[in-house]
Chains A and B, each alone.
Chain A
Amino acid sequence: SQQGEEDPQALSIQEGENATMNCSYKTSINNLQWYRQNSGRGLVHLILIRSNEREKHSGRLRVTLDTSKKSSSLLITASRAADTASYFCATKPRTGANNLFFGTGTRLTVIP
């Protein structure tokens, strides 16, 4: 399967703490994207990082990509209760199937 895997499956932290989620994948990629999903609703795009990039920032979000280890991490700094959601990574393979493969997701709970 080309599906990625997020780690941990669930994460619970206090408001103000940082949250780190990891994503591992199996094939060479064109890019990797992170999405957020509030319970049972649509996904919201957070960041897209291309295979030739190592780090990207967007507000309180920081994404790193290590193509040699086929892994990425999403860091949310100074978390807020509103960050409570599921976070998914999605990879676009460099060759082969032309679609996005989503990971299994990390369920983040931020306790006020």
Chain B
Amino acid sequence: KAGVTQTPRYLIKTRGQQVTLSCSPISGHRSVSWYQQTPGQGLQFLFEYFSETQRNKGNFPGRFSGRQFSNSRSEMNVSTLELGDSALYLCASSLGGELGTYEQYFGPGTRLTVT
């Protein structure tokens, strides 16, 4: 089975721009979660999508949004980028059920640098 894939792997943007990151989950997995990882804040949960609906949301501003398509692929969008948005963005998929009930499988991440 192919693992979780994320594109692009690296991205450089300037302040004020917007960015879209993509995640393809493991085949058959219906839950996709997004995390932000920074040296200062560690790993923080952004949101989770299940069956094309946002099911859970972390404590991030509305500039961070996402969506999930019928094939379970998910995209995350960040608008009006700020320097503090520089981070490794990780996507994780799991079979479903309640989030966190089962192990999550992570992609390699997208390294976003905002200048």
- A contact residues vs B (CB 8 Å cutoff): 3, 30-31, 33, 35, 40-45, 48, 88, 90, 92, 97-105
Extra contacts besides A42-B109, A45-B106 (4): CB < 8 Å? A40-B109, A48-B102, A99-B33, A102-B35
- B contact residues vs A (CB 8 Å cutoff): 4, 33, 35, 42-45, 48, 55-56, 58, 88, 90, 92, 98-109, 111
**Cα distance, A85 to B56, chains bound together (Å):** 29
**Cα distance, A31 to B43, chains bound together (Å):** 18
| Pairs A–B under 8 Å by Cβ, sample size 27 | A40-B109, A40-B111, A41-B108, A42-B90, A42-B108, A42-B109, A43-B90, A43-B92, A43-B106, A45-B103, A45-B105, A45-B106, A48-B103, A88-B43, A97-B56, A98-B55, A98-B56, A98-B98, A99-B56, A99-B58, A100-B33, A100-B100, A102-B35, A102-B42, A102-B43, A102-B44, A103-B42
Residue of A nearest to B88 (CB): A40
Shortest CB distance A107–B (Å) = 12
Interface of B is mostly: strand
Task: Point out the residues of chain A lying under 8 angstroms from B99, CB to CB.
Answer: 92, 98-100
Q: Is the CB of A31 within 8 A of B101?
A: yes
Residue of A nearest to B47 (CB): A99
Query: CB < 8 Å: which of A33, A48, A100, A104 contacts B42?
Result: A104
Known contacts: A99-B56, A99-B99. The answer to whether A44 contacts B106 by CB under 8 A is yes
Residue of A nearest to B102 (CB): A48
**Cα distance, A99 to B32, chains bound together (Å):** 12
